[in-house]
Amino acid sequence: MVAVMLMSVLAVAGLCVLAYTLAVYALPLMLGVTAAQFAYQTGSGFIGAGLVGIVAAVAAFGILAFLFDTLHPPILRLILALVFAAPAAVAGYALTHGVTKESVPSEVWRQIFCVIGGAFVGVSALMRLAAPVRRVRLHHQSR
């Protein structure tokens, strides 16, 4: 009985980690899902649609990271960062709301937790977008 309880806690924790990761990459994920749906509806099959979706999601993140690295005007970088982080923040809000829906009885506290969760995921998305930039700059500075 105890083993089943521990396994269920580990399964829930794993699903929360997976949901958090998907929320951070909300924009590339949704672009990949949309591309996969389009490919499947046009007759590519399940495996082909999955491959198209994965390639589209990776390409979307790569393009966003490349643009974030190469754009120099701060306003353009800010706009690009908001385009990437806003869907992630909304997904983080929804994720937190889903987790706290049954466990937090107060609506006020649930909203506070949801806003904090959305902000956390949005900031994490910004940090993931800017992370390749930091590694490249540190590598060039050490030479």
H helices of 42-106, in order, are: 45-70, 74-100
Answer whether 36's CB lies under 8 Å from 56's CB.
yes
Give how far the C-alpha of residue 85 lies from the chain's centroid of Cα atoms, to the nearest Å.
8
Answering whether pTM is above 0.75, one says no
pLDDT at residue 56, rounded to an integer: 96
Residue 141 is predicted with a pLDDT of 56
Q: How would residue 52 be classed by pLDDT, with cut points 50, 70 and 90?
A: very high
Using a 10 angstrom Cβ sphere, with 0-12 exposed, 13-18 middle and 19 or more buried, the burial of residue 78 is exposed
Pairwise CA distance, residues 25 & 140, whole Å: 27
- Indicate if the pLDDT at residue 51 is higher than 60: yes
